[in-house]
Amino acid sequence: MNFETEIIKLLSKNGVKEPKLSVPARPEFGDLSLACFDLAKHHNEEPVSFAMELAKKLKPSGLISKIIAVGPYVNFFVDMEKFGIETINDASNEKFGGHFVKGKALVEHTSINPNASPHVGRARNALIGDSLVRVLNFAGYAVDVHYFVNDIGKQVAMLVYATKDLKKKVSFDEMLQKYIEINSRVLENVTIEKEIFKLLNKLELGDKKTKKLFEDVVSTCVKGQTDIFAELGIKYDSFDYESKYIGSKLLKDTFKKLKKRTFKDENGRFVLDLKEFNLPMKESVMVLTREDGTSLYPIRDLAYNLEKIKWSKGGKNIVVLGEDHRLEYLQIKAALAILKKEAPEVVHYAFILLPEGKMSTRSGKIVLLTEFMNEAIEKAKIEIRKRHPNVEDKKIEQLAKIIGYGALRYSILKISAEKNVIFSWDEALNFEGSSAPYIQYTYVRAKRIVEMTKKVKSKKIIFASPEEFGLIKEIARFPNIVRDCVRSYQVHSLAKYAYDLAFTFNIFYEKCRVSDELNNDVKMSRLKLVNAYTRTIKKVLYLLGINAPEFM
């Protein structure tokens, strides 16, 4: 039982349910504090006298060494040595921080159009999704990771049109330029766009030759995209193809159930009336078909969501979507409500911006994820060679990937999902401050201490300095951080914790000697604390998808 849990249990026994504890502004006021303003008001008492009476009733025990009232606050002090021993023992367990639930979860993420190499902006979806999957797995969920492939959209049809008459098969690396070129041609020539829609129509009517053209383009793009994500440690369990739902029984049944709520608009399309849901859009309708009756993306997406609900029955159902899909999600949610089904929980994210604005695959004004990855590796190599000029190239290459990819992931994940990211090479690869290299370096530094002091023998645990206690408290926060991530799906809090933990370790490192400490009891105590830190920070880095290097 950790310190906070023990306080909550004690307060609950004394009639204070769900207390809101906070860290006092000054350490001499205790380790955790309970404000009594609202509690006193509820009992028609004055806050200062209420706090005093409550403090008298609460008896210190276990990890709680002292309880005092200071004004309208009840302050709790922890027994540092007991707390330190418990934290070190907890951190030595592989399950520390996780494995507290049983259940299943379906997480859909990435799901970018299979039309070109992904740009950095869309990579945010995959990075948030992957970290969330790792957290849920660590918490105890059996997670099934899905990638919804929009293999019959206009973007794919444009690529099919651009490549269908070429004698040589277009490689994945060539797809982006073909896509940019066809976009320019469509803007200049309306006839081409009509031909593209003809291709889509032929596909939906089941033309085998057209279907093969689409399959070839899509398979090349999906393999190319997922190979890039795999390089960053991102994996998927299922690829769900939109084309599966064309003419499917599920889609027909879904349309039939919604038919009474639909009408034909001025263009002859079937649309679903969603006025009762007060959606934030001019027309509260969801367009389900074209004028010729063939299905459109919304109803296929709806059918897919119905299948996901079935697959995830009894567990979590989560989707990661860009902020540009907010309205589409609200439409799907409303349509599912009509069908008496619950929509997936959603994590929306804002875009990664270039200094001049939003990225666009159509215009070519993008930074490809592969370019960003390569640049991160090259810049990491420069930093490594400054510190290790004599290390062999092969080793530098391996380390540069660990540092470079870590820098990429951390610089994106540390920003809360609803905020834009304006990436900076210098900030991402900075070995000081809130960056992956800074955190990775503290891990390496701590590992070196553990290796240097392995032969120390002592069974006695002694903690006396505030820096030791600061690190103990920070390590002990880990389980609550994980639980908060599971509740909120906000992985940026985990990234912030990684920095806070590394920063606290560095303070400890500067003030508390280990390898040259003369007192063996103190040395062993600090060694165990450092070891607890290495195990914890390595777990945190893993949950962020970042590798912990063995040297830097």
Q: What is the pLDDT along the chain (552 residues), one digit of tens a residue?
A: 578 889 999 999 999 988 989 989 888 889 999 999 999 998 899 999 999 999 999 999 999 999 999 999 999 999 988 999 999 999 999 999 999 999 999 999 999 888 878 888 888 999 999 999 999 999 999 999 999 999 988 889 999 999 988 878 889 888 888 888 898 898 888 889 888 988 988 888 888 999 999 999 999 999 999 999 999 999 999 999 999 998 899 999 999 999 999 999 999 999 999 999 988 877 789 999 988 888 889 999 999 999 999 999 999 999 999 999 999 999 999 999 999 999 999 999 998 876 655 545 444 556 788 988 988 898 889 888 888 888 888 889 999 999 999 999 999 999 999 998 877 767 767 767 788 999 999 999 999 998 887 777 777 888 889 999 999 999 999 999 999 999 999 999 999 999 999 999 999 999 999 988 889 899 999 999 999 999 999 999 999 999 999 888
Do 218 and 130 sit in the same domain of this protein? yes
Q: Are residues 313 and 376 in the same domain?
A: no
Q: Clarify whether residues 111 and 71 are in a common domain.
A: no
In a domain? residue 90: no
Is the domain of 159 the same as that of 30? Answer: no
372: nearest Cα among 384, 356, 362, 359: 359
Instruction: Give yes or no: residues 283 and 408 share one domain.
Output: no
The one-letter amino acid code at 135 reads: V
Query: Do 350 and 377 share a domain, yes or no?
Result: no
Question: What does the alpha-carbon distance between residue 177 and residue 364 come to, in Å, rounded to a whole number?
Answer: 8
398, 529: one domain: yes
Assigned domain for 94 exists: no
> Residue 445, class by beta-carbon neighbours within 10 Å (0-12 exposed, 13-18 middle, 19+ buried)?
middle
Residue closest to 97 by CA, chosen among 547, 532, 510: 532
Is 346 found in the same domain as 418?
A: no
Supply the CATH number for residue 42's domain: 3.30.1360.70
State the amino acid at position 532 in one-letter form.
A
The SS3 of residue 279 is coil
What SS3 state is found at 405?
helix
Helices (H) and strands (E) in the chain, counts: 20, 15
Number of domains in the chain: 3
Domain membership of residue 89 (yes or no) is no
Give the SS3 label for residue 397: helix
Residues 333 and 184 in one domain: yes
In a domain, 337, yes or no: yes
Residue 194 identity (one-letter amino acid) = K
Any idea what DSSP says for residue 167?
S
Q: Which CATH number covers residue 180? A: 3.40.50.620
Please report whether residue 54 resides in a domain: yes
In terms of DSSP bridges, do strands 316-322 and 103-108 run parallel, antiparallel, or are they unpaired? Answer: parallel
Across the beta sheet with 32-35, what order do the strands follow?
21-22, 32-35, 73-78, 64-70
Identify the CA nearest to 420 among candidates 350, 468, 504, 319: 350
What's the rounded Cα separation, in Å, for the pair 450 and 529?
10
Residue 10 belongs to domain spanning: 3-78
Is position 95 within any domain? no
CB atoms within 10 A of CB 150: 20
Tell me, yes or no, whether 520 lies in a domain. yes
Instruction: List the CATH number of the domain containing 525.
Output: 1.10.730.10
Q: Are 265 and 325 part of one and the same domain?
A: yes
C-alpha 165: how far from chain center: 42
Q: Is residue 98 a part of any domain in this protein?
A: no
Which of 302, 332, 358 is the last residue before a domain boundary? 358
On whether both 319 and 387 belong to a single domain, the answer is no
Same domain, 118 and 183: yes
- Single out the residue in 298, 327, 358 at which a domain terminates: 358
b/e 362-373 (16+ beta carbons within 10 angstroms → b): beeebbbbbebb
d(CA 218, CA 209): 14
pTM recorded for the entire structure? 0.90
